[in-house]
Amino acid sequence: MAITLYELQAADDRRISPYCWRTRFALAHKGLAATFVPVKFTEKDKIAFSGQDKVPVIQDGERVVFDSWTIAGYLEDTYPDRPSLFGGEVGRSMARFINMWGDKVQNPNLGSLIIADVFQGLCPEDKPYFQKTREQRFGKALAEVQKGREERLAGFRAALESVRSVVAEQPFICGPKPAYADYIVIGGFMWARCTSPFKLLDPADPVHAWRERMLGLFDGMGAKAKGFPA
């Protein structure tokens, strides 16, 4: 039976959550059949069965799992005969470090560059909730958060230096083949791609080439996603 992934939906049926993208890539890596249920910010009733209010949530038969990191661990432990997301316990722990980097460095940095675009592309009924909660989080208007992004782009690119130095020397963060750490980082870039026309990367940047490789995986799953191809 296919696994069901509940994931965040914006206008034009774009799927915009960086965390849901991590799970989408993880499911594809494991070769697990999945069905996708779109959830708007104002449709929390759809995931109330999970006992919390954030996506991603997966339902696998009787099992309900939420939080992208917990889901990745669940998929790894439940489907050990499928391609590994972590390559063992050491790899799992190191992927956890990348997960934290994605949560604490990559995604907040990205948010400061694209948050007003994210808002613009939401379904109209979601906009008041998003504006209120995110302006509370940032402590200022979304337009103010995003303002001056051209000048701040160099800072974002500098924050990618560790990723850059790795993917300049090997095809993927995880080595010759991609695995979960790559899916964590592409999750952030998918968020940007599906919400904002802002050009984040220089085409000459090794991170740009890595992103192209990631977009091509699984029959071009990322490349085909609705958004703003950059």
Ligand X SMILES: N[C@@H](CCC(=O)N[C@@H](CS)C(=O)NCC(=O)O)C(=O)O
Interface residue list for ligand X (CB under 6 A): 8, 17-19, 41, 53-56, 67-69, 133
Q: How many CB atoms lie within 10 A of CB 43?
A: 18
> In whole angstroms, how close is the CB of 69 to ligand X at the nearest point?
6
> In whole angstroms, how close is the CB of 41 to ligand X at the nearest point?
5
**Which CB, 208 or 226, lies closer to ligand X?**
226
> In whole angstroms, how close is the CB of 36 to ligand X at the nearest point?
15
**Which CB, 35 or 133, lies closer to ligand X?**
133
**Which CB, 56 or 87, lies closer to ligand X?**
56
**Which CB, 17 or 59, lies closer to ligand X?**
17
Q: How many CB atoms lie within 10 A of CB 165?
A: 11
> In whole angstroms, how close is the CB of 103 to ligand X at the nearest point?
7
